[in-house]
Structure 1
Amino acid sequence: MATTLIKGAELIVAWDASEKRHVYMPDADLAFEGGVIRFVGRGYDGVADMVVDGAGMLVMPGLVNIHSHPTSEPMNKGLLDEIGSPGLYNSSLYEFMPIFRSDAEAVPDCVRVALSELLLSGVTTLCDLSMAHPGWLDLLAEAGMRVCIAPMFKSARWFTKNGHVVEYEWDEKAGEKAMEEAFSLIQRAEQHSSGRLFGMACPAQIDTCTPELLRDSRAEARARGISWQIHAAQSVVEFHEITRRHGFTPIQWLHEMGLLDQQSIIGHGIFLDDHPSTPWHTDRDLSILAETGTTVAHCPTVFARRGITMKDFGRYHRRGVNLGVGTDTYPHNMLDELRLVAYLARTQATDPRTTTTNDIFNAATIGGARALGRDDIGRLAVGARADIVLVDATHPRMQPRHDPVRSLIYAAGDRAVKDVFVDGEKVVENGEVLTMDFRQAAAHLAEAQKRITAKATQQDWAHRPVDKIAPPTFKWL
């Protein structure tokens, strides 16, 4: 197998195994072979079949994104930027998102757009929380990305007839069948010829699944040794629904059923018993998350659009909660998401010291890897997978670069990402995706959105025109 050497990198974000942390290593080399890192350090004197000049390069581990919906979210661009249901605590989940759902024809272009954006922002491992769709595995493999598929299944669908009450239509047998199909699909993913696909159990939402479906899916995930993720504590509506049904907060209800542990992931985990929007008579939720080792997948952008946010990232971290980061909405730009993690945490805490760039970068690398039960991604170390991002440290947006990772997250963003390798294979070169036609997919998606919006009025409970649901920025003449 050929060996690739990144020689004389200006700076490597290397993994210090003895201290279990990332460190800056200047003027260093990195070699990989067969998708595995063989050397990280100075003065590499081994064989090199291909040499990459590392001068002016920041070399860092590929980012791990533990919560994303590529099949649907790109369709919402320009539509859901400024709307949330006032009668449903400003969430857009129940009234608006269902009416702009992608049709089958649009799904492949949604996926290609999302995965292109993710690769360009340094993501090499992704958790794809989607409903199963034709050609899913091959489409993900096409991207060259490492993907954890999370086929969602549920016992009920939610809907509203008036914009202020959420109702549920139950079909428990359908949920059980969908779960069986999901585990079958996960097995197929693990056997895929690409070698980069693996799986996660994903009952869709805590309020759309029966307790039996939750317990059965968790038991099966444990038996298979895979992670388990659920949307929970993601809306005020959901918080009240669960307390009404069970007398426990969403986090407490999951804990009461014995579902939380180190391979459990809570999608969002915002509305705890001490959140100002959902004050409860207990103060246990944060401790439960920390003590069980449960991961919270933090996705700030989609909630910030509605005036909603976690209280706060730094507080969760200090209490010992494992945190990961995801892109729950468009754009699927992980570096933008990390910037917002920092800013929202500091504004919510009214304290610039509540969190650090180190904490945030860890969440996007080793925190995500831990949630997936993996110690071979999210770090640059001998024996780890060769998931590597090369950042142009000489890019004008990176200047001055007193602290290059801060310059990347707070200033340059994806504009400075030059090359990306997954399993040692180059998937981005000079800021262009090599595996998919990003521009063509985006053009197709634009046409698909016209088709979707033409049907939206029929899907809406009040039959409102699209320009009334999502008023344009300026009046059309």
Structure 2
Amino acid sequence: MTEDGGQGVKGRPQRFANLSWAVLWDEVAGGHVYARNVDLVVRDGRIVFAGPAAELPGEYAGLPVDVDGTGLMAMPGFVNIHSHPATEPMNRGLFDELGSPGLYYSSLYEYMPVFRSDARSKPDCARVAYSEMLLSGVTTVVDLSTPWDGWLDVAAESGLRVCLAPMFRSAAWRTDDGHTVSYSWLEDDGRRGMAEALEIVDAARGHACGRLMGMVAPAQIDTCSEELLKASFVEADKRDIAWQTHAAQSIVEFHEITRRHGMTPIQWLHHLGVLSPRSIVGHGIFLDDNPSTPWHTKTDLSLLADDGASVAHCPTVFARRGYVLRDFGRYRKAGVRLGIGTDTYPHTILDDLRLAAYLGRVQAGSPTAVPTRAVFDAVTVAGAAMLRRDDLGRLAVGGCADIVLVDLKHPMMQPSIDPVRSLIVSCDDRAIHSVYVGGRKAVEAGRVLTMDYVGATERLVGEQARIVGSVAERDRLGRSAETLIPSTFPIR
């Protein structure tokens, strides 16, 4: 059998037989359902049969078994709708407790620039992040990065479906005093950056591996001019692809947009006409009814719902800062589609599913406010819909064979009468056994097959030491990393 450019295996069909459990898509019910004793048949990267083994059509009954599913559960691969693979692994151990008190404990404006990974470290940053995603069941990822040499090659190497979202902007932010943020505006308003980004988007969509796609991504609402936001939305519409920007992601940003325009970030996007079913708001936490950003209106949530826009929810990165979406269940009830993203390290998305459920329940004061099904849907069919792909995020005939096999015999999965709930709540990624993208195996027995995860991690250790060692040269006060990030315990 030969690989079909990452689209799966060409030649005879592949048979996953006797799966103890499977999460299949029920087209009539319009949702995921459990099934027992299931066979899956994959041809050229697509699912051609998914159902009870007893109902296997005769044309497939004589197929050799490629995977014995006894003791395994098959589920759809996850869609990570918001991540920063080329930079975030570098920050491991740095930003856990680091934020600017004068900027509401955000780390965006003062600290991220001084610890930022550079061109030399980005390939291995990406490999580490992509590997962590695969190991936790992600098969499709939106990669929001500033363009870097070799990006498409590493994305193709990963074995993932990667939606490249090259970020561009009209201005760069900075803080000179730790309590105010200023913006340096580009003479061309970011048009050159957008043109470069669109070239990457178009190249990704035409890449030979067949697993890359593109997204238009003006970086942040406060660093992009009105003209750039509107022009970028037009480009996304021309290509019929998704559009995403960071908005309502910090208190600083909320105050900046209300100061500039007299309306909230969500209201500004609505005013510009860039909220629609193709729009994804990265984070969308600080709405006009959030206790940290009270405003005289209370319309942001209904605007998101009425315009059909989606929110990329990344609970881990905000929980570190002491902030939370208020709340997952409330957004859903209002009619806002939510996807799940890792955003930050570690890129293990099952952590984010559990945290999204727990924080949503805490905010609502009810254990039933965010059921397991809600976060599972968010990371599968909702994320796929945000990418305008109805062939992802579900195990159904005609869909892509992006399949995750879970080891039901893992001790932390037992005893279990509800395997998906056990995976998310009790086990995390320890039970992820194998991962297939388009029928091509990318993870086996907890080992990444497509990239040198261990080697990339080892190299990244040296890269982080190099960058941390020169932090004082970039910090506004010349502080060392040891000063900025005190050790958990004294070192003697």
Q: For residues 432 and 461 of structure 2, what CA distance do their matches in structure 1 show?
A: 25
Given the alignment, which residue of 53, 56, 59 partners 1:46?
59
Deviation, 1:411, is 1.0
Deviation, 1:184, is 1.0
Deviation, 1:464, is 1.1
Partner of 1:30: 40
Given that 2:17 and 2:65 are in contact with CA atoms closer than 8 Å, whether structure 1 keeps it comes out as no
Output the amino acid matched with 1:46: E
Q: For residues 174 and 206 of structure 1, what CA distance do their matches in structure 2 show?
A: 13
Correspondence 1:102-113 to 2 at 5 A: 102-113=117-128
Partner of 2:8: none
Please list the CA deviations of residues 244-281 of structure 1 after superposition, one character each: whole Å capped at 9, or x if unmatched.
00011000000001101111000000000000000101
Output the amino acid matched with 2:18: G
- Tell me, what secondary structure is at the counterpart of 1:230? strand
Deviation, 1:291, is 1.1
Q: For residues 142 and 262 of structure 2, what CA distance do their matches in structure 1 show?
A: 32
Deviation, 1:354, is 1.3
Output the amino acid matched with 1:2: R
Give the alignment's TM-score, normalised by structure 2: 0.96
Partner of 1:247: 262
Output the amino acid matched with 2:465: K
Given the alignment, which residue of 137, 148, 155 partners 1:133?
148
Deviation, 1:2, is 2.1
Partner of 2:5: none
Residue 200 (structure 1) aligned with residue 253 (structure 2): no
Given that 2:17 and 2:68 are in contact with CA atoms closer than 8 Å, whether structure 1 keeps it comes out as yes
Output the amino acid matched with 1:348: Q
Given that 1:172 and 1:210 are in contact with CA atoms closer than 8 Å, whether structure 2 keeps it comes out as no
- Tell me, what secondary structure is at the counterpart of 2:37? strand
Residue 64 (structure 1) aligned with residue 79 (structure 2): yes
Partner of 1:13: 23
Given that 2:434 and 2:446 are in contact with CA atoms closer than 8 Å, whether structure 1 keeps it comes out as yes
Q: For residues 238 and 362 of structure 2, what CA distance do their matches in structure 1 show?
A: 42
Runs of 4+ in 1 over 3 A off after TM superposition: none
Given that 2:96 and 2:320 are in contact with CA atoms closer than 8 Å, whether structure 1 keeps it comes out as yes
Deviation, 1:172, is 4.2
Deviation, 1:308, is 0.8
Residue 472 (structure 1) aligned with residue 487 (structure 2): yes
Given the alignment, which residue of 429, 432, 439 partners 2:454?
439
Q: For residues 473 and 357 of structure 2, what CA distance do their matches in structure 1 show?
A: 40
- Tell me, what secondary structure is at the counterpart of 1:383? coil
Given the alignment, which residue of 149, 152, 155 partners 2:167?
152
Partner of 2:14: 4
Output the amino acid matched with 1:271: F
Aligned CA RMSD, in angstroms, stands at 0.8
Q: For residues 139 and 101 of structure 2, what CA distance do their matches in structure 1 show?
A: 37
Q: For residues 60 and 456 of structure 1, what CA distance do their matches in structure 2 show?
A: 44
Q: For residues 268 and 355 of structure 1, what CA distance do their matches in structure 2 show?
A: 18
Output the amino acid matched with 1:466: A
Please list the CA deviations of residues 143-189 of structure 1 after superposition, one character each: whole Å capped at 9, or x if unmatched.
11001000000010001011100110110416100101111111111
Q: For residues 486 and 33 of structure 2, what CA distance do their matches in structure 1 show?
A: 48
Correspondence 1:411-422 to 2 at 5 A: 411-422=426-437
Deviation, 1:50, is 4.5
Q: For residues 479 and 359 of structure 2, what CA distance do their matches in structure 1 show?
A: 33
- The range that moved more, 37-46 or 415-424, is 37-46
Given that 2:19 and 2:37 are in contact with CA atoms closer than 8 Å, whether structure 1 keeps it comes out as yes
- Tell me, what secondary structure is at the counterpart of 2:59? coil
Give the fraction of aligned pairs with identical amino acids, expressed as a percent. Answer: 57
Please list the CA deviations of residues 107-147 of structure 1 after superposition, one character each: whole Å capped at 9, or x if unmatched.
11100000000000000000000001001001100011001
Given the alignment, which residue of 285, 289, 293 partners 1:270?
285
Given that 1:126 and 1:146 are in contact with CA atoms closer than 8 Å, whether structure 2 keeps it comes out as yes
Output the amino acid matched with 1:295: S
Residue 304 (structure 1) aligned with residue 319 (structure 2): yes
Deviation, 1:46, is 3.1
Deviation, 1:463, is 1.1
Given that 1:388 and 1:420 are in contact with CA atoms closer than 8 Å, whether structure 2 keeps it comes out as yes
- The range that moved more, 442-451 or 456-465, is 456-465
Partner of 2:109: 94
Please list the CA deviations of residues 212-248 of structure 1 after superposition, one character each: whole Å capped at 9, or x if unmatched.
0000000111011010000000000000000000011
Partner of 1:463: 478
Partner of 2:445: 430
Residue 225 (structure 1) aligned with residue 261 (structure 2): no
Deviation, 1:462, is 1.3
Residue 449 (structure 1) aligned with residue 464 (structure 2): yes
Output the amino acid matched with 2:231: D
- The range that moved more, 164-173 or 199-208, is 164-173
Output the amino acid matched with 2:114: I
Q: For residues 433 and 23 of structure 1, what CA distance do their matches in structure 2 show?
A: 29
Partner of 1:81: 96
Residue 114 (structure 1) aligned with residue 124 (structure 2): no
- Tell me, what secondary structure is at the counterpart of 1:245? helix
- The range that moved more, 172-181 or 85-94, is 172-181
Deviation, 1:51, is 2.4
Output the amino acid matched with 1:18: V
Output the amino acid matched with 2:460: L
Q: For residues 103 and 179 of structure 1, what CA distance do their matches in structure 2 show?
A: 21
Q: For residues 172 and 432 of structure 1, what CA distance do their matches in structure 2 show?
A: 48
Give the alignment's TM-score, normalised by structure 1: 0.99
Deviation, 1:352, is 1.3
Given that 2:137 and 2:435 are in contact with CA atoms closer than 8 Å, whether structure 1 keeps it comes out as yes
- Tell me, what secondary structure is at the counterpart of 1:104? coil
Given that 1:156 and 1:172 are in contact with CA atoms closer than 8 Å, whether structure 2 keeps it comes out as no
Output the amino acid matched with 2:36: P
Q: For residues 299 and 103 of structure 2, what CA distance do their matches in structure 1 show?
A: 25
Q: For residues 337 and 347 of structure 1, what CA distance do their matches in structure 2 show?
A: 15
The number of residue pairs the alignment matches comes to 477
Partner of 2:300: 285
Give ranges in structure 1 of 5+ residues lacking alignment.
none
Output the amino acid matched with 1:468: T
- Tell me, what secondary structure is at the counterpart of 1:305? helix
Given the alignment, which residue of 337, 340, 344 partners 1:325?
340
Q: For residues 461 and 352 of structure 1, what CA distance do their matches in structure 2 show?
A: 45
